[in-house]
A and B are shown apart, each in its own frame.
Chain A
Amino acid sequence: MLFPRYNLKADEKLEIFEFVSFGNKGKITKIVQFLQISDNLYNLGFGDKNLETGEISDIIVSNNGDSRKVLATVAASIYAFTIKYPEALVYATGSTKSRTRLYRIGIANNLSEILKDFEIFGLREGELEEFKKGTDYQGFFVKRRG
């Protein structure tokens, strides 16, 4: 089952994505960036763009009431990015512990669907392990299945 998600804009390399969240606080522009750390290892960055100042921040808490749809859209950007870069290993963590927890819950709630297309690992105490529901992780690794 595919959850509702927002339409995405992207740069020509499919490394930067933008979408607009529509919620109880109005329209909020979101940016997702896949930035290379080393070789095929990429960091996923995600935050809000202030259209007046141009500032982009992953610290702002927007509380726009559509977090499920926003997460589904971020997941869609991972899907698109890894179609273009199938060897990429994507690392994602929240800018705060509560955001990392939100990501963990989002992954756990959709794990069976995610596992059809991706391998997913959690980072705990400096070690990778297969993602397990109910376990706290520092971050997550996503790799498209070959």
Chain B
Amino acid sequence: MKKNQKNRDSKMPKIIIDESLNQYQGKIIFKTTFAKAQETLKNVKLPKSLKKQTESA
């Protein structure tokens, strides 16, 4: 089932919600790249302003 999502501003792209894509939710589609990113970011110090936001979740 598909439904249109209303544009919220001019830069917002036109998006159709496609429930068939829900099958990928929570799955690592790009395993190698994701593992590489995790490894790279493990030791990266985020700026304070960004750190506060990422820790607030």
CB contacts (< 8 Å) of B19 on chain A: these are 11-12
Across chains A and B, the number of contacting residue pairs, with CB separation under 8 Å, is: 132
The residue on A at minimum CB distance from B55 is A39
Does A79 belong to the interface (CB within 8 Å)?
Answer: yes
Chain A interface, number of residues (Cβ within 8 angstroms): 49
- In the complex, which residues 12-26 of chain B have their Cβ closer than 8 Å to any Cβ of chain A? 12-19, 21-22, 24-25
A47 to B34, CA, bound (A): 12
A100 to B46, CA, bound (A): 20
Tell whether A2 pairs with B53 under 8 Å between CB atoms, given A11-B19, A16-B25, A138-B40.
no
B10-A11 in contact (CB<8A)? no
A83 to B12, CA, bound (A): 8
- In the complex, which residues 8-61 of chain A have their Cβ closer than 8 Å to any Cβ of chain B? 8-18, 31, 33, 35, 37-41, 43, 45-47, 56, 58
CB contacts (< 8 Å) of A14 on chain B: these are 15
Q: List 25 A-B contacts (CB under 8 A).
A: A2-B11, A7-B14, A7-B15, A7-B16, A9-B17, A9-B18, A10-B5, A10-B17, A11-B25, A12-B17, A16-B29, A17-B15, A18-B18, A37-B34, A39-B55, A58-B33, A80-B12, A87-B53, A87-B57, A93-B33, A93-B37, A95-B30, A95-B33, A123-B44, A127-B45
A2-B15 in contact (CB<8A)? no
B25-A15 in contact (CB<8A)? yes
The residue on A at minimum CB distance from B43 is A126
A128-B46 in contact (CB<8A)? yes
The smallest beta-carbon distance between B49 and chain A, in angstroms, is 9
Tell whether A41 pairs with B54 under 8 Å between CB atoms, given A47-B30, A126-B44.
yes
- In the complex, which residues 87-137 of chain A have their Cβ closer than 8 Å to any Cβ of chain B? 87, 89, 91, 93, 95, 117, 121, 123, 126-128
B21-A18 in contact (CB<8A)? yes
